[in-house]
A = this chain, B = another copy of it.
């Protein structure tokens, strides 16, 4: 059965509803939740797209003065206001003093990457010296693998998951080929069981146990991009280390989403982008983590002058004096423009904590899941007390949704991946008309991510209403088409 005992977040929501004297399905409930949300002020730090600036929004179905409903911060986070001021400040500096800006002002460009390390480190549970800001995400994984993937005849495999984000797949494949091994025999894919979408962590641990002796590097996501499943990074790292594997994580969907303790978990390395939950704009400069146990190592690496100790870097004597740790993996000088949004965004994170964000996130996503299951589950899977007619009479009851994200809150971040029993093209179009921005994965999954930094409970409520309307509209269209065919 899809719905069992309410999860802890839903229990909390139900309890709040009693206090508010309303139902979870009431708009009033969402408004009350927003009123008591201790993080509600953070939304003011962001530019929220409005219906009248969302090009797909259709005035015949939405009030153009309303805020849009942004549910794809897992793909591209919303824009922190403060970016504008910092951009202006740094462009002015450039305009006013040219090269002298390298070592002047609030954000001396030559140090722009180092200045924001402390805040970044806090978000992933690392020491400042374990973190660097550089390159793109996939580039960083490559840089780390060049050092840490040292295949031998006995131990030459890289473990990834079958449905890894494509770039990770290509990274692993090409690293294997680079060393003259064959991905066919050296790439190990962790697969969900037949008919399941998520990997069972116990299966992953078993696989590591079984094949670990031949695995050089484990490269898994912190959160799976498609299903939203959290991977148990601590357990995977322990299991990997027990078998002598190095363990790295792609944190694209985990950073800024869930709490992590990369240092305490002894994760060997990790990398992440900043354009999703870190709100730093398309393709923004990425992060990388290298555990301090590897701070000094003799592995080869792709070196560049930015990895040289800062104090002597500009002596230009061509004698490498390598920075310890991940700082020594920096190659090129950092892009000022790319770093500005990261700085602006991290300053917002510094006003709260990952634990406060996660607390809200659990409620938001719990709320979303509750409503989705209530309105869109296959009827027979609804528990008695919730099949209250409202659902069953819904005009779109022949379109059902299966939530493929784990229902256990600790096993997911803020994203829910909804699988429809029909192709999603028309539904997605209807959502766009209603100013709901979300992420389609054809043929039949739409991902929704209520980001705690800037999403209101009312947004979740409105999103679900928009989804109901969308399904109704699609159903009407279908009926219309059938009637046309009868003509």
Contact = CB atoms under 8 A, between A and B. Distances in A.
B142 A49 contact: no
B283 A332 contact: yes
A115 interface: no
A239 to B, nearest CB: 24
A112 B282 contact: yes
A94 B79 contact: yes
A217 interface: no
Nearest to A137: B332
A4 to B, nearest CB: 31
Contacts of A285: 335, 338
B47 A94 contact: yes
Interface string A61-101: 00000001010100110110001100100010011111111
Given A281-B336, A282-B112, A170 B303 contact: yes
A391 interface: no
Contacts of A308: 166, 170
B97 A170 contact: no
Nearest to A305: B167
Contacts of A151: none
Interface stretch (A26-34, A172-180, A207-215, A456-464): A172-180
Interface of A: 47, 49-50, 53-56, 68, 70, 72, 75-76, 78-79, 83-84, 87, 91, 94-102, 104, 109-110, 112, 135-139, 142, 146, 163-167, 169-171, 173-175, 177-178, 273, 281-286, 300-308, 313, 316-318, 320, 331-338, 340-341, 437, 439, 441
24 contacts: A47-B95, A47-B96, A49-B97, A50-B96, A54-B97, A72-B98, A76-B101, A79-B98, A112-B282, A135-B332, A136-B331, A136-B333, A138-B332, A163-B318, A164-B318, A166-B313, A166-B316, A170-B303, A170-B304, A171-B303, A178-B300, A283-B332, A283-B333, A316-B441
